[in-house]
């Protein structure tokens, strides 16, 4: 089993890329064959019809991903640390969990799931802080073939309930509370609210973490420690078909409710592992740290599945970068001599504003590779990261990918492909990226800008939206027939390097979190005084983007400050604090087209600070609305 990449030079990259273009099937089958263990090999490598969003990889192969992430390492690296767990409070004891211990914990947790009646194919919702039990629970689901649906522990009761109901989850695993810096989130209490409306949930397992008082419902709720107490650490892995779903993970879309992206077992595993080893050039013994939360795809693919399949040591951090002070990240890098560090531009921008003593007082010389993900990184932040954290000697892999893609798609390969600040660079082997214009034509040639699409399936791509395949087809495969449309705009320079310019739809990325503007509008519309709301993103120096809500009321609120805080509360309750608008402006009217659609293009410009140059507004039903908004803005000193 190889744990390192076969790509060692730029020409290796070119050879691999060309091989993947010539024959994607043999390219991926040789990786699948050499890097993973299978209970039964595939009969066919790939079958697809993108017009129907029908994609299958490694047909009829049988495997269990936990055999690849855990069992096969036991003979060669049982005592090696699989997961370093760093708690929120630096005074609390950290854990170094070896592959053998991970195996025992995952097996016991798997047996606990079984004892609660969870079977292959059942959906299990995990609403947990970043504690080892979250990792055990994810892997335990995979062990028995249950489909995990991790819901980020910052989401509200309503968001949690929607996700539980969408997938009819049978079991919920949560904690009494979660530590985030100086704050405690009362997870069980939020879960209790959610469960008022979740008929499919039969049992709730609660891990004690914060000691927060909780209500335990007789016959439904049980403590993790009690439920797991008598479980053995032997649980044979379920035999899974290559295409059996491994997990569901929700992501926001331009319209409607969040989409439950469904990832397959074999294709996802091969893709997460291959991209991990290749992009980071992980070497035996390296300590690797991805700062994401397991509630997002980055945590799934690059804290757990990718690193563990490669036999790596992966650091999992419970806390936040600002606690106990803004030097915490660098403290952890120093403490564990982290070699590879993967984070988000928003964290870099925030940390770049701090007292540099917080950086300089730590020894960062162990770092070899730095990564970023989640949103475009501006040049200033890139340079700061490179100079102050990488000390000018660590490559920065600015990796572009999505919840839907399962793993990295366009990214530098550390130390191998040339770097250009703010560019994600060249597509990884197996990724046939292209740019399309608004009329549906491919833009050939270099030095172009368009909408980013992918022409050929790759193993890690999502297979469907849970319960709504038609929506999957319409969202991703209809705009450009027989291609996957990413929803992102991109530039391609003279040498074929891609620079992602941002979303071209109504998704706004705030501090690396995808937010659907329609969802936020729906939350604001719940306010009894609100007639209509329009939400757009605008550039923000730390968060990348922030949310601007233009709100039209039936009658003016008595107290504008109370009204604003009621709106913020509504958004927090309906979605979560991450979706709260930075700015709320009461307006007399919203600019609409003759067909009644809000003209967001104009609102985006206003939110970004423009006060004239709105382009052609002749198609507006009410062009005077634009001036009214500008007056409203002036009246509130915006
Ligand atoms: O707009 C792109 C942006 O994040 C979106 C995907 O968000 P999500 O599904 O939450 O996954 C985030 C982690 C993979 C993309 O459509 N994005 C992600 N990475 C980059 C990026 N934009 C620019 N540069 C990146 N490196």
Asked if residue 503 has its Cβ within 6 Å of ligand 1, the reply is: yes
Question: What average pLDDT does this structure show over 597-619?
Answer: 87
Which residue owns the Cα nearest ligand 1 atom 14?
Answer: 402
Which residue owns the Cα nearest ligand 1 atom 15?
Answer: 402
Candidates 581, 582, 591; CA nearest to 628 is: 591
Considering the chain, what is the average pLDDT of its residues? 96
Q: Is 419 left (phi over 0), alpha (psi -120 to 50) or beta?
A: beta
Distance (Å) of CA 491 to CA 12, 90, 135, 477: 25, 43, 37, 21
Domains and CATH numbers, the chain: 36-64+239-244+265-504 (3.40.50.12780), 507-637 (3.30.300.30)
Tell me how far apart the alpha carbons of residues 534 and 517 are, in angstroms, rounded to a whole number.
Answer: 8
Window from 126-130, 256-260, 452-456 with minimum mean pLDDT: 256-260
Please report the atom of ligand 1 found closest to the CA of residue 503.
1
Query: pLDDT tens digit string along 131-177?
Result: 999 999 999 999 999 999 999 999 999 999 999 999 999 999 999 99
Query: pLDDT tens digit string along 385-398?
Result: 999 999 999 999 99
Ligand 1, pocket-test mutation among 252, 275, 342, 400, most atoms within 8 A of CB? 400
Task: Please give the distance, rounded to the nearest whole angstrom, from the Cα atom of residue 555 to the centre of ligand 1.
Answer: 39
Please report the atom of ligand 1 found closest to the CA of residue 502.
1
**What is the DSSP secondary-structure string of 336-377?**
HT-SEEEE-HHHHHHHHTS-THHHHTS--TT--EEEEESSPP
- pLDDT class for 638, splitting at 50, 70, 90? low
Question: What average pLDDT does this structure show over 262-273?
Answer: 98
**What pTM was computed for the model?**
0.95
- pLDDT class for 3, splitting at 50, 70, 90? low
Say which residue the tokens 């507004």 belong to.
617
Query: pLDDT tens digit string along 492-535?
Result: 999 999 999 999 988 999 999 999 999 999 999 999 999 999 99
Which residue owns the Cα nearest ligand 1 atom 13?
Answer: 374
Give the helix ranges, DSSP H, for 488-577. Answer: 517-525, 560-574
- pLDDT class for 619, splitting at 50, 70, 90? confident
Tell me how far apart the alpha carbons of residues 470 and 355 are, in angstroms, rounded to a whole number.
Answer: 51
- pLDDT > 50? residue 2: no
CB atoms closer than 10 angstroms to residue 310: 27
Two structure tokens written together for 590: 């919203």
Please report the atom of ligand 1 found closest to the CA of residue 403.
9
Asked if residue 252 has its Cβ within 6 Å of ligand 1, the reply is: no
Task: Please give the distance, rounded to the nearest whole angstrom, from the Cα atom of residue 502 to the centre of ligand 1.
Answer: 8
Amino acid 411: pLDDT = 98
- pLDDT > 70? residue 486: yes
- pLDDT > 60? residue 229: yes
Q: Is 489 left (phi over 0), alpha (psi -120 to 50) or beta?
A: beta
- pLDDT class for 637, splitting at 50, 70, 90? low
Task: Please give the distance, rounded to the nearest whole angstrom, from the Cα atom of residue 473 to the centre of ligand 1.
Answer: 20
Task: Please give the distance, rounded to the nearest whole angstrom, from the Cα atom of residue 500 to the centre of ligand 1.
Answer: 9
Amino acid 597: pLDDT = 84
For the packed helices 266-280 and 24-35, what is the interaxial angle rounded to 10 degrees? 80
Amino acid 141: pLDDT = 99
Query: pLDDT tens digit string along 324-367?
Result: 999 999 999 999 999 999 999 999 999 999 999 999 999 999 99
Asked if residue 191 has its Cβ within 6 Å of ligand 1, the reply is: no
């Amino acid at each position: 089993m190889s744990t390192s990449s076969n790509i060692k030079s730029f020409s290796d990259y070119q050879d691999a890329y060309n091989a993947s273009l010539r024959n994607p099937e043999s390219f991926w089958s040789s990786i699948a064959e050499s890097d993973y263990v299978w209970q039964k090999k595939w009969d066919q490598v790939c079958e697809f019809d993108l017009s129907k969003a029908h994609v299958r990889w490694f047909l009829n192969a049988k495997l269990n991903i936990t055999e690849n992430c855990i069992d096969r390492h036991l003979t060669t690296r049982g005592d090696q640390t699989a997961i370093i767990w760093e708690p929120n409070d630096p005074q609390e004891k950290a854990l170094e969990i070896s592959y053998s211990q991970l195996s025992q914990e995952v097996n016991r947790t798997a047996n606990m799931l079984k004892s609660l009646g969870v079977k292959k194919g059942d959906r299990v919702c995990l609403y947990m802080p970043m504690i080892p039990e979250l990792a055990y629970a994810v892997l335990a689901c995979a062990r028995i073939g249950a489909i995990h649906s991790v819901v980020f522990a910052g989401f509200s009761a309503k968001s949690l309930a929607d996700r539980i109901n969408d997938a009819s989850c049978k079991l919920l695993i949560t904690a009494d509370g979660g530590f985030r810096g100086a704050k405690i989130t009362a997870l069980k209490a939020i879960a209790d609210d959610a469960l008022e409306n979740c008929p499919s949930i039969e049992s709730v397992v609660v891990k004690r973490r914060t000691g927060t008082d909780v209500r335990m419902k007789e016959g439904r709720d049980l403590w993790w420690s009690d439920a797991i107490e008598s479980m053995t650490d032997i649980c044979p892995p379920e035999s899974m078909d290559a295409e059996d779903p491994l997990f569901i993970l929700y992501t926001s879309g331009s319209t409607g409710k969040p989409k439950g992206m469904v990832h397959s077992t074999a294709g996802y595993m091969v893709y997460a592992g291959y991209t991990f080893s290749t992009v980071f050039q992980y070497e035996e013994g390296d300590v690797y740290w991805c700062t994401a939360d397991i509630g997002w795809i980055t945590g799934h693919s690059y804290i757990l599945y990718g690193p563990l399949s490669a036999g790596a040591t992966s650091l999992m951090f419970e806390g936040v970068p600002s606690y106990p002070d803004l030097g915490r990240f660098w403290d952890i890098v120093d403490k564990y001599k982290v070699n590879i560090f993967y984070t988000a531009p928003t964290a870099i921008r925030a940390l770049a504003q701090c007292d540099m003593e917080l950086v300089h007082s730590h020894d960062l010389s162990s770092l070899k590779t730095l990564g970023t993900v989640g949103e475009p990184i501006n040049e200033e932040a890139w340079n700061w990261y490179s100079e102050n954290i990488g000390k000018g000697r660590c490559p920065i892999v600015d990796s572009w990918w999505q919840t839907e893609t399962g793993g990295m798609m366009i990214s530098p390969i550390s130390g191998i492909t040339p770097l250009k600040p703010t560019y994600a660079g060249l597509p990884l082997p197996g990724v046939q990226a292209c740019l399309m214009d608004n009329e549906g034509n491919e833009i050939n040639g270099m030095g172009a800008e368009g909408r980013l699409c992918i022409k050929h399936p790759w193993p890690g791509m999502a297979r469907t939206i849970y319960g709504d395949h038609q929506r999957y087809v319409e969202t991703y495969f209809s705009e450009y027939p027989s291609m996957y449309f990413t929803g992102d705009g991109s530039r391609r320079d003279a040498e074929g390097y891609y620079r992602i310019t941002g979303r071209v739809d109504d998704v706004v990325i705030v501090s690396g979190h995808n937010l659907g503007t329609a969802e936020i509008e729906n939350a604001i519309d719940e306010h009894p005084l609100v007639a209509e709301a329009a939400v757009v993103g605008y550039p923000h120096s730390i968060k990348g983007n922030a949310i601007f809500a233009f709100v039209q009321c039936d009658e003016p609120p008595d107290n504008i400050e109370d009204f604003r805080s009621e709106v913020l509360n509504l958004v927090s309750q309906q979605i979560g604090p991450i979706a709260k608008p930075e700015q709320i402006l009461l307006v007399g009217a919203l600019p609409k087209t003759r067909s009644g659609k809000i003209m967001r293009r104009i609102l985006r410009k206003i939110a970004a600070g423009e006060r004239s140059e709105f382009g052609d507004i002749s198609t507006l039903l009410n062009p005077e609305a634009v001036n009214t908004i500008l007056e409203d803005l002036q009246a509130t000193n915006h």
